[in-house]
Each structure stands twice: as C-alpha cells, then as structure tokens.
Amino acid sequence: VGSEMCIRDRLAVCDALFAEIDAALVQLDSAEYCALRKYYLDCLKWEQVAADMNFTSRGIFALRRRAIEHLKL
C-alpha cells in the first residue's frame, strides 16, 4: 500500500509538470506549439518532429529557435 501511494504521488507530480509545460506552450503559434510539444512532452527526437511536420532539419531548428524566443516564462 505504501509503495502504491508513492507511485500515485509521483504520477501526480508528473501530471502536474506535464500540464504546466503544456500551459506554457499554448502561448505559441500552432507550428511552434506542435514542434515543442512533440519534442518536450511526446519525447520525439528532432529528426522525427521534422519528418512528422514535413520540415527539413534546418527548418525545424529555426522553428525551435523562434518558439523559444516567443516563450514568455
């Protein structure tokens, strides 16, 4: 029972962090949001994010750079 509570507590912390990160990302435009969400929350590599979004590697890193500049944290 104790270990189940510990696991539930940790999951609650992870869920809260996920929600906090997602809330910060929603201030971005849709392409920036999608790219950063896929990388930081869905744990895809940048190469996969680029392929999923039909970007070149150079293009996805330019989008990433703009998105990071637009984040107001």
In this prediction, residue 67 carries a pLDDT of 96
Tell me phi and psi for residue 27, to 5 degrees.
-75, -10
* pTM for this entry: 0.83
In this prediction, residue 9 carries a pLDDT of 92
| 60, 50 Cβ separation under 8 angstroms | yes
Within a 10 A sphere around the Cβ of 45, how many other Cβ atoms?
10
Quote the CA–CA distance of 45 and 69 in Å, as a whole number: 20
Quote the CA–CA distance of 11 and 8 in Å, as a whole number: 5
- Residues 9-67 have pLDDT tens digits of 999 999 999 999 999 999 999 999 999 999 999 999 999 999 999 999 999 999 999 99
pLDDT at 8 exceeding the cut of 80: yes
Q: What percent of the chain has pLDDT over 70?
A: 99
Quote the CA–CA distance of 54 and 48 in Å, as a whole number: 10
